[in-house]
């Protein structure tokens, strides 16, 4: 158990809908990362937050957005869903200071299926 | 940009065989290197890491040595078990500022009894 929790574990929805994925980082970790794992794209970094602020963006679509709340949990919002958004979405956390070499610990993931 | 290249899978071995999964990287500076493992139906688990050249990471019988001269971080295990069947991901993280993990494509390992 990494200490990172994600809910829900599975999500099945229809095209055009909007969903919210939730992540709670390990106790004490200030940084949260979101990754997407799909068969055709592999593991892709989406976005990172540090202590409530967006720090880095990767291959995140405009239809997707995220935020990190004062209690440090994070939510990833996916809207206008398409079939191709079906994937496993991982959250990871780390202590992450600007000069650290720390490790990212991953949650169990949320499997999103868009029908 | 930074990138990681892993050997294509699947790698199919018999129990107690020796395992090597090759990983090479391209990066500026001195990144940290990681191996993550994903068991069927589960999330990513950190297997081992190394943060500087010549460091050896080890865990659960697996080892990998950070070789800067060959830009490699090959994963090895002397005697695999059926329970090692999983997908293994090599990854790097630059050690400057706020940096994401860059993953390889993953290598599936299948171990038969």
A45 CA to chain B: closest CA distance, Å? 7
Spatial distance between the Cα atoms of A54 and A57, rounded to a whole number of angstroms: 8
Which residues are within 8 A (CB) of B50 and not within 5 positions of it... i.e. 6 or more apart? Answer: B32, B33, B56, B57, B64, B65, B66, B73
Residues 25-84 of chain A with CB under 8 A from chain B are 31, 33, 35, 42-43, 45, 48, 50, 55-56, 58
A12 in B contact zone (CB under 8 Å): no
Q: Each residue's pLDDT tens digit in chain A (115 positions)?
A: 789 999 999 999 999 999 999 999 999 899 999 999 998 888 999 999 999 999 889 989 999 999 999 999 999 999 999 999 999 999 999 886 655 567 889 999 999 999 9
Which residues are within 8 A (CB) of A2 and not within 5 positions of it... i.e. 6 or more apart? Answer: A26, A105, A106, A107, B43, B45, B46
A109 in B contact zone (CB under 8 Å): yes
SS (H, E, C) A53-85: EEEEECCCCCCEEEEECCCCCEEEEECCCCHHH
Which tokens sit at B46? Answer: 């950190």
Q: Determine whether the interchain pair B100/A43 forms a contact, defined as Cβ–Cβ distance below 8 Å.
A: no
Residue of A nearest to B94 (CA): A101
Q: What is the pLDDT of residue B98?
A: 67
Q: What is the pLDDT of residue A101?
A: 64
Edge-first strand order for the sheet with B75-77 is B19-21, B75-77, B62-65, B56-59
Q: Determine whether the interchain pair A31/B98 forms a contact, defined as Cβ–Cβ distance below 8 Å.
A: yes
A13 in B contact zone (CB under 8 Å): no
Residues of A with CB below 8 A from B4's CB?
none
Residue with tokens 């899978």: B9
Q: Which tens digit of pLDDT belongs to each residue from B27-70?
A: 988 899 999 999 988 889 999 999 999 999 999 999 999 999 99
Q: Determine whether the interchain pair B32/A105 forms a contact, defined as Cβ–Cβ distance below 8 Å.
A: no
Angle at alpha carbon of residue B98, lines to B96 and B99, rounded to 5°: 80
B109 CA to chain A: closest CA distance, Å? 17
By CB atoms closer than 10 A (0-12, 13-18, 19+), residue B17 is middle
Radius of gyration of chain A measured on its C-alpha atoms: 13
CB-based contact B91:B75 (threshold 8 Å): no
**Among A99, A104, A105, A111, the residue to mutate for chain B (most B Cβ within 10 A):** A104
Spatial distance between the Cα atoms of B91 and B100, rounded to a whole number of angstroms: 10
Secondary structure of residue B1 in the 3-state scheme = coil
Residues of B with CB below 8 A from A50's CB?
98
């Amino acid at each position: 158990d990494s200490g990172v929790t994600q809910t829900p574990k599975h999500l099945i929805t229809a095209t055009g809908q909007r969903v919210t994925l939730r992540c709670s980082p390990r106790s004490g970790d200030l940084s949260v990362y979101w990754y997407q794992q799909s068969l055709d794209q592999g593991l892709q970094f989406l976005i990172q937050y540090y202590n409530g602020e967006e720090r880095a963006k990767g291959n995140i679509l405009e239809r997707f957005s995220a935020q990190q709340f004062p209690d440090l949990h994070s939510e990833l919002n996916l809207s206008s869903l398409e079939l191709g958004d079906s994937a496993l979405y991982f959250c990871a956390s780390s202590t992450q200071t600007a000069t650290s070499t720390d490790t990212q610990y991953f949650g169990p993931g949320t499997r999103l299926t868009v029908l | 940009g930074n990138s990681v290249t892993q050997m294509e899978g699947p790698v199919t071995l018999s129990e107690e065989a020796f395992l090597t999964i090759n990983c090479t990287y391209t990066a500026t500076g001195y990144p940290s290197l990681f191996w993550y493992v994903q068991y069927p139906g589960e999330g990513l688990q950190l297997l081992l890491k190394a943060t500087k050249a010549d460091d050896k990471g080890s865990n659960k019988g697996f080892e990998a040595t950070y070789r800067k001269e060959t830009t490699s971080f090959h994963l090895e295990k002397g005697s695999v078990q059926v329970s090692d069947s999983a997908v293994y991901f090599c990854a790097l993280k630059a050690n400057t500022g706020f940096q994401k993990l860059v993953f390889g494509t993953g290598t599936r390992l299948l171990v038969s009894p």
